[in-house]
A and B are shown apart, each in its own frame.
Chain A
């Protein structure tokens, strides 16, 4: 054998070996496709969810996005490190069940699955809404055409159901594609969405607040009408506020940012399929997706906000979230529509932006279905659920039953909106449930050196700083960030609700969704102990399931 054919320092005897499926680039696109995606066209709409202000010319939302980005950087490092030690599909479930306890691993991942299902439902709602907004865009470009009436589309349940079913069929069709085709579709569509982001970002520079205000009559409104209506309903721009209520509001903003960031770490849930250097691939994919998320929620949103008019977008957004008096029959300040009003001739470009927005909305669902299926697969391997759930379909190389179930359950959350469950409630319920998912990675990072030193040695992150392992510091930094945010954004509203309404706040009919969240958690606990009993009765030593056999 020629000398040059040999890698330095290692003699390799050729034989069959283990090859994993997912490349570094696949993992990156998987993460990007997992983003909620509404920020493409809806970016400025999120300004108005909490009182907004600008400091040093930068919006409070952007400040919080930058802060969240820094914290999430450490979360990303935690995921990359834990994935290195446990390069298996299942993500958080695998980590927590091995480091802390099977019960907490189960509960964390169960609530994550619940949260993810609500997001699938959420995305179907948003996709339907974005179809309407795309119709409105065409109506603005072609006054007098069929699309001029788009603002009145989907006002009844029948039409919503029909469009929802069509979207579900598209999601289903993508989800059951052959693995190779699935990755091709995800990659292609994600690139298309990224192109739409670029068009939107650079296109915003062709617009300023004056041209925007001048174009508003084409949307049947005016700057004055929007500001007046919003002010009448209690809208005002704030100033930097670090009092207790101000900090609570900022925590709320962070929660919205986190909602936009969800997904940047999802490649670690398919780590068992990542090929090559798993740590490097997962770290690249996680940090790469995080950078994209930070861009979308900082520079992108502020460039759009400032060019379309900070006051205007905030006031319009306020009307959208808090009243039924928003322009265009209650629509949000969807920037592709606004930009088309300014430059009607450029409608094809803004149509691409609107379609890119829908693409990311819809694409999230099959990506979530795949990611959920890996969690359930990990459950089944640990006998937390019957193996029926994890039967791998040979054609798709994925647990097809779980994928179909995930889409159907996401559809249930969509249908629930017809029975009074609001978009905001669905979101709140989802993120409330995801609490453990936000907190446990930090605990895992802190505890792994002490509870599982064998796994800790495999993390490639064993160096120390100020007497503590670096990984422990990552965990501490993440928890210092996320616990106050979670407490302020989610626990505090629950406490306020309980104080105001008592036990009625927990009723299933209460639109907060807290009662349902408790039911969901109770179901998890019941399933855990039932499966524990079933396993024990089958002669399985349940403790051994989660332990590594001692070699010596």
Chain B
């Protein structure tokens, strides 16, 4: 075995094509010299931008508060790429379909689902194309925001691995267990457990590990009140509470996850979920990482960390 196992982790890419392509290139160019790549959840995007056919080959769209009008196929493709780069889904439609989508929640939901699964499928294919022949272990975990349909899409790949529900041997010394769920959120997202459920799930998986003290826990939601789970406090309308111009902040992590980490004390735990709380924290002997996310701004945030035989050798916060 090499002196250490180098891991790279990032999270919450939220369908941002440009950031994801950066990640693949970082691996392809070996800039982080990572043996293991971990994506700690939330792969899918949050919005669809309709590109509305105006007739005569012209299209219009409203994107980032700007009205866009395109006239050629190349311009339309560029617009679609730009929309995809920041993590939205372009959807070419006529005005009639857009109006129908606006009033038909079920149809909208189905379209969203289709777009999310399609994008994850494209990502899986791109990973196979760019780095599929490398020796890098590539683990792509869904998160609480992701439709369950993306799991099936990932399952078709022989290279990209969804680690959820498995005990993964990273090398002869380190194993990993993974959890894609979050604790309850105000948005009632597709994958949420109660705090007690969360603890029980982690406990059950931890029992499958040969040596939990040397393990890596990849858990989408960070531990409660760890400093890497601080987010704006929301009011009843789900808007940030602001007092005298200052956004109030509160810990939003999982108490169940914290309890599990305190009890089992893995070597490392990697998290995402709270975009604005990137950083690292210690809970007992466990080092917890949250890369944070600015994927929608085209910034790839991550951590590189080296796992020695029985300790964390070093860790760097990186961005590209």
Contact = CB atoms under 8 A, between A and B. Distances in A.
Interface of A: 1, 3, 6, 8-23, 25-26, 29, 87, 179-180, 182-184, 187, 275, 277, 381, 392, 394, 397, 538-541, 544, 547-552
B78 to A, nearest CB: 12
B320 A180 contact: no
Given A381-B317, A540-B316, A16 B246 contact: no
Contacts of B316: 540
A8 B102 CA distance: 10
A381 B303 CA distance: 12
Interface in B77-115: 101-103, 105, 108, 112
Contact of B320 (A9, A10, A548): A548
Contacts of B248: 180
Contacts of B175: none
A13 B46 contact: yes
A19 B240 contact: yes
B320 A544 contact: yes
Nearest to A541: B31
Interface stretch (B153-161, B198-206, B272-280): B272-280
B275 A16 contact: yes
B21 A14 contact: no
Nearest to A185: B244
Provide the main secondary structure of the chain B interface: mixed
A366 B48 CA distance: 43
A12 to B, nearest CB: 5
Contacts of A392: 227, 279
A26 B231 CA distance: 19
23 contacts: A8-B62, A9-B62, A9-B63, A10-B49, A10-B63, A13-B46, A13-B112, A15-B46, A16-B273, A18-B275, A18-B296, A20-B247, A20-B276, A22-B245, A23-B245, A184-B244, A187-B245, A392-B279, A394-B227, A538-B314, A539-B33, A541-B31, A548-B320
Nearest to A544: B31
A539 B33 CA distance: 10
Nearest to B225: A394
Contacts of B231: 16, 19
B187 A14 contact: yes
Contacts of A540: 316
A37 B5 CA distance: 55
Contacts of B33: 539
B25 interface: yes
A11 B232 CA distance: 23
Given A179-B246, A551-B18, 19 more contacts: A1-B108, A9-B49, A9-B61, A9-B63, A10-B63, A12-B47, A13-B47, A19-B231, A19-B232, A19-B247, A183-B245, A187-B245, A381-B317, A381-B319, A392-B227, A548-B320, A549-B25, A551-B19, A551-B22
Interface string B226-252: 010011100000101011111111000
Interface range on chain B (Cβ under 8 Å from partner): 35 or more
A550 B22 contact: yes
B110 to A, nearest CB: 12
Interface string B14-55: 000011011101100101010000000000011111100000
A547 B247 CA distance: 32
A495 B246 CA distance: 48
Nearest to A24: B245
B240 A11 contact: no
A3 B62 contact: no
Contacts of A539: 33
Contacts of A397: 230, 249
A533 B224 CA distance: 38
B246 A184 contact: yes
A14 B238 contact: yes
A183 B247 CA distance: 10
Contacts of B19: 551
- Which of B45, B232, B240, B296 has the largest count of A CB atoms less than 10 A from its CB? B232
A10 B185 CA distance: 23
Contacts of A179: 246, 249
Contact of A11 (B48, B187, B227, B244): B48
B102 A551 contact: no
A180 B244 contact: yes
B118 interface: no
Contacts of A8: 62
